[in-house]
Amino acid sequence: MNFDADVLVIGGGVTGCGILRDLALRGIRGILIDRGDLNSGASGGNHGLLHSGGRYASSDTETAAECRIEGEILKRTAPQAIDACGGLFVAVEGDDEGFIARFAARCAAAGIDCAPLAVDEVRRSEPAISERAIAAYAVPDATVDPFRLTIEQVADARRLADSLFLPHTEVTGFDIDGGRIRAARCRDTRSGEARIIRARQYVNAAGAWSMAVARLAGCDDVRVLWSKGTLVIANTRLTRRVVNRLRTPGDGDILVPGGTVSLLGTTSDTVADLDVIRPTPEEVDRNIEEGSVLIPALAHTRFIRAFAGVRPLLLPTGGDGDGRKASRGFTLFDHVAQGLGNFATIAGGKLTTFRLMAERTGDLVAARLGNREPCRTATEPLPALERSSWTEPGHSARTWFAAKNPADSILCECEMVPKSTVDAVLEMAPGAEPQMPLRAIGVRSRIGKGTCQGSFCAIRVTSHLYDRGTYGGREGLGLMRDFLAERYKGTRPVLWGPQMPQAELAETLHCGLLGLDLIDARGQDGEPR
């Protein structure tokens, strides 16, 4: 199947979705594609931290200030996706006194509100913090649900300009003629089918893959450093606020509450291959060892999952390749010098600054299309879709419990997601499609996010999908297998303590009861190796 649009945006992360909406607000219809799904890359593999800028205040005043300004804008325009819980920077015995002493002034230089706090007062309000704490500051950090942000931006773009999101669609090449891209040759990674997408403008927002996409268009000016970061998710919320270690950024020094859980991260390791990105036990241990210095409970808490994302960091010419030191800034490439007039790449940056990245890109693309509408994303509130609170932890449970409809069976018991939520995702979520993969339902809801990491709900949801006719053959089993295999990548490095019996039970269920080890990824009887 072929498609036409004003603009093709490549990359369904938060930036690509932001661009789709930015353009839609200017009346420009876009098609957004991703080789996987929404937030398959760094947008889904991060802390969900809306930086106050404090983290960068000591090293990069400009990025810190950008974070502050963008954070304030998002709190105004997308409050539904944000928990303005506040943040702390806390130092413990042995941390660099000089760094501590300079922190407040650095924050002031970036315009960040930063208030010193008495350590005992901090420990009263956050008892999880170590008694070895020696200094603390409050900053306006917040948390953001990146899944809600992307889902609502895509939904709004659809509402405004009939823009479209196509999941599992990968660019394999561009047809270039006369200094312009005429078409993007794509492939449906699920069916293998070829697709041609024709647009007037092409935007590369492919994050870690942006260098590869640029090269497909013959552009060699984009250089990105891949910095892998691993995070771990604790079963419970350990602190009310974001807690940062007050020191030069290192492993395991940020603990971010995410609704009912806490996310601890991150590591930073430069990688050379994007196809083998998975969290390792060693990275998990590093996070926990460092993290438990600040939050001792981390040493014995139950972790339910680890995940890894790749930060696409712009590599300045002559940079030394250290991810921690590389700029968190972003660059918009117009590729004019590369001989193309309708192609742009936006690269680098951060979750917190995605809107600004989308604005700059939108300005360029709109101008190229002769559209004079200004950017409106800094003022126009992002409509809160009632149903996209699906991704908010505890929301589904609360709504279900209040509705008192016992016939609406709970399919995911850990997160208490009922049948009606799954049905709604199938019917109206952005990217919904016939034979929707369990993984895609998981991205758009809390399915599989809880303690059992999908080991029970995969079975219940799959049965429900067969019942309602979403699946009509073995592919449904293949999709369940794929979903569980993907969840497994995250649980594998945290399998100790109570997660190990959980994993053993999952093994007996998925192999012993369901026979999923006997079929292949398409659900067919497997060819034994």
Partner 1 sequence: MNPEPRRITTDVAIVGTGLAGFAAAVFCLDRGIAAVQLGHAGALTYTTGYFDLLGYDRGRSIDDPWRALADLGATWPGHPLARLPRSTIEQAFRRFAEAIGDLGIAYVPPGATNVRALLPTGLAKTTSSIPRTMAAGAAALAEKKRTVIVDFIGLVGFSAKEFVTNFAADWPGLSSAHIGFPDLDGGAEAYPEVMARALEVRATRERLAARIRAVVGDADCVGLPAVLGVHAPDRVHAAMEELVGVPIFEIPTMPPAVPGLRLRELLEQAMPARGLRLVSQHKATRVDLRPDRIDFGYRDNFGEVVIEARTAILATGRFLSGGLVAERSGLRETLIGLPVEQPAGRGDWHRDDCFDVRGHPINRSGVVVDDDFRPLDHDGVPVHPGLFAAGAILAGQDWVRQRCGAGLAIATAWRAVDGVARMSGR
Partner 2 sequence: MSVSQASAVIDFKAVADRLLPAGSSYDSCLACGLCSSGCPASGLEGLDPRRFIRMAILGLDAELTSTPWIWTCTQCKRCAQVCPMNIDVSVLVGHARSMWPEEKKPAGIVRSCKAQMLSDSTSAMGVSPEDFVDIVAETAEELRHDDERFAKIEVPIDKQGAFFFVNQNSREPAAEPEEMRPLWKLLDYVGADWTYGSSGWAAENFCMFSGDDAAWKAMVEKRVDAVNALGCKVWINTECGHSFYTLWKGVERFGLKPNFDYASLVTYYAQWIREGKLPVNADWNTKGIKFTLQDPCQLVRKSIGDAAADDLRFVAKTLVGEENFVDMQPCRSANYCCGGGGGFLQAGMKELRHAYGKRKFDQIEATEATYVLTPCHNCHSQMEDLAHHYGGDYRVVHFWTLICLALGILGADERKYLGPDLQDVGLPQ
Measured between alpha carbons, how far is 495 from 472 in angstroms, rounded to an integer? 34
Q: Can you say how many angstroms the Cα of residue 472 is from the centroid of all Cα atoms in its chain?
A: 31
**Closer residue to partner 2 (CB): 454 or 493:** 454
What b/e sequence results for 477-510 when a residue is b if at least 16 CB atoms lie within 10 Å of its CB, and e otherwise? bbbbbbbbebbbebbbbbbeeebeebbeebeebb
The DSSP-derived string for 213-273 is HHHHTT-----EEEEEEEEEEESS---SSEEEESSS--TT-EEEEETTEEEEE---EE-S-
Does residue number 410 form part of the binding site for partner 2 (CB under 8 A)? yes
**Residues in 491-520 that interact with partner 2 by CB under 8 A:** 498, 501-502, 505
Does residue number 376 form part of the binding site for partner 1 (CB under 8 A)? no
Q: Please, what is the minimum distance in Å from the beta carbon of residue 307 to partner 2? A: 20
* Total site size for partner 2, rule CB under 8 A: 27
Q: With contacts defined by CB under 8 A, name the span among 33-41, 67-75, 376-384, 493-501 that binds partner 1.
A: 493-501
Q: Which does 335 bind (CB under 5 to 8 A by kind): partner 1, partner 2, none?
A: none
Site string for partner 2, 376-395 (x = CB under 8 A): -----------------xx-
Q: Which does 411 bind (CB under 5 to 8 A by kind): partner 2, partner 1, none?
A: partner 1
Measured between alpha carbons, how far is 358 from 342 in angstroms, rounded to an integer? 16
Which residue among 43, 80, 150, 235 contacts partner 2 (CB under 8 A)?
Answer: 235
Q: Which does 323 bind (CB under 5 to 8 A by kind): partner 1, partner 2, none?
A: none
Q: Which residue has the tokens 């990217």?
A: 431
Does residue number 260 form part of the binding site for partner 2 (CB under 8 A)? yes
**Closer residue to partner 1 (CB): 165 or 471:** 471
Cα distances from 373 to residues 153, 233, 365, 380, in angstroms, run 18, 42, 11, 13
**Closer residue to partner 1 (CB): 241 or 464:** 464
Does residue number 401 form part of the binding site for partner 1 (CB under 8 A)? no
Measured between alpha carbons, how far is 30 from 391 in angstroms, rounded to an integer? 25
Measured between alpha carbons, how far is 102 from 88 in angstroms, rounded to an integer? 16
Q: Please, what is the minimum distance in Å from the beta carbon of residue 143 to partner 2? A: 15
**Closer residue to partner 1 (CB): 223 or 278:** 278
Does residue number 466 form part of the binding site for partner 1 (CB under 8 A)? yes
Does residue number 459 form part of the binding site for partner 2 (CB under 8 A)? no
**Closer residue to partner 2 (CB): 250 or 393:** 393
Does residue number 369 form part of the binding site for partner 1 (CB under 8 A)? no
Q: Which does 337 bind (CB under 5 to 8 A by kind): partner 2, partner 1, none?
A: none
The DSSP-derived string for 80-125 is GGEE---EEEEEETTS-HHHHHHHHHHHHHTT---EEE-HHHHHHH
Q: Which does 397 bind (CB under 5 to 8 A by kind): partner 1, partner 2, none?
A: partner 2
What dihedral angle (degrees, nearest 10) is formed by the CA atoms of 56, 57, 61, 65?
A: 90
**Strand 343-348, strand 194-204: pairing:** parallel
Q: Which amino acid is at 307?
A: F
Q: Please, what is the minimum distance in Å from the beta carbon of residue 168 to partner 1? A: 20
Give, for 333, the enclosing helix (H) or strand (E). Answer: strand 330-333
**Closer residue to partner 2 (CB): 2 or 409:** 409
Q: Which does 200 bind (CB under 5 to 8 A by kind): partner 2, partner 1, none?
A: none
Does residue number 282 form part of the binding site for partner 1 (CB under 8 A)? yes
Please answer whether residues 26 and 373 qualify as being in contact, where contact means their C-beta atoms are separated by less than 8 angstroms.
yes
User: What sign results for the dihedral spanned by CA atoms 488, 491, 493, 499?
Assistant: negative
Please answer whether residues 436 and 426 qualify as being in contact, where contact means their C-beta atoms are separated by less than 8 angstroms.
yes
Count helices and strands (H / E) in the chain: 15, 22
Does residue number 450 form part of the binding site for partner 2 (CB under 8 A)? yes
Q: Please, what is the minimum distance in Å from the beta carbon of residue 404 to partner 2? A: 6
**Residues in 434-463 that interact with partner 1 by CB under 8 A:** 456, 459-460, 462-463
Q: Which does 492 bind (CB under 5 to 8 A by kind): partner 2, partner 1, none?
A: partner 1
Q: Please, what is the minimum distance in Å from the beta carbon of residue 170 to partner 1? A: 22
Q: Please, what is the minimum distance in Å from the beta carbon of residue 266 to partner 1? A: 19
Give, for 306, the enclosing helix (H) or strand (E). Answer: strand 303-314
Interhelix angle 97-109/61-77, nearest 10 degrees: 60
Residue 100's closest CA among 244, 198, 308, 314?
244
- State both tokens at 244: 């940062």
Q: With contacts defined by CB under 8 A, name the span among 41-49, 74-82, 230-238, 468-476 that binds partner 2.
A: 230-238
Does residue number 410 form part of the binding site for partner 1 (CB under 8 A)? yes
- Counting beta carbons within 10 angstroms of the beta carbon of residue 215, is it exposed (0 to 12), middle (13 to 18) or buried (19 or more)? exposed
Measured between alpha carbons, how far is 237 from 243 in angstroms, rounded to an integer? 12
**Residues in 285-324 that interact with partner 2 by CB under 8 A:** 301-302
**Closer residue to partner 2 (CB): 316 or 501:** 501
- State both tokens at 311: 């930060």
Please answer whether residues 9 and 164 qualify as being in contact, where contact means their C-beta atoms are separated by less than 8 angstroms.
no
Binding site for partner 1 (CB under 8 A): 278, 280-282, 285, 288, 406-407, 409-411, 456, 459-460, 462-464, 466-467, 469, 471-474, 476-477, 481, 484-485, 488-489, 492-493, 495-497, 500-501, 503-505, 507-519, 523, 526, 528-529
Binding site for partner 2 (CB under 8 A): 235-237, 260, 301-302, 393-394, 397-398, 400-401, 404, 406, 410, 413-416, 450-452, 456, 498, 501-502, 505
